[in-house]
């Protein structure tokens, strides 16, 4: 994985895009030693999004299971508990 400054990445952007698309190479772009962004292939991005969606789905299912286990309370009772 290549790490480039913003200035260097700007000069090489077409090359970085081609490398990401054709070879899957990833490039990290940094400013003053701090990592800011990355150039990755669309395949990598789609995989990352699919993984995030799966994690969100798992978290939602866990929350629903927990809510079913604990039961629900009325809006009136919740407001009273919160002092609203």
Q: Nearest 5 degrees, angle CA 57-CA 51-CA 26?
A: 160
Q: What is the pLDDT of residues 24-66, one digit of tens each?
A: 999 999 999 999 999 999 999 999 999 999 999 999 999 989 8
| Distance, CA of 42 to CA of 71 (rounded, Å) | 42
Q: What is the pLDDT of residues 4-18, one digit of tens each?
A: 999 999 999 999 999
Q: 1-40, which class in CATH?
A: alpha beta
Is 11 within 8 Å of 5 (Cβ atoms)?
Answer: no
């Amino acid at each position: 994985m290549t790490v480039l400054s913003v200035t260097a990445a700007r000069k090489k952007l077409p090359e970085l895009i081609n490398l990401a698309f054709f070879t899957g190479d990833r490039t990290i772009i940094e400013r003053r030693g701090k990592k800011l962004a990355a150039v990755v292939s669309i395949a990598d991005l789609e995989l990352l999004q699919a993984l995030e969606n799966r994690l969100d789905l798992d978290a939602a299912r866990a929350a629903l299971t927990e809510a079913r286990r604990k039961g629900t309370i009325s809006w009136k009772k919740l407001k009273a508990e919160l002092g609203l």
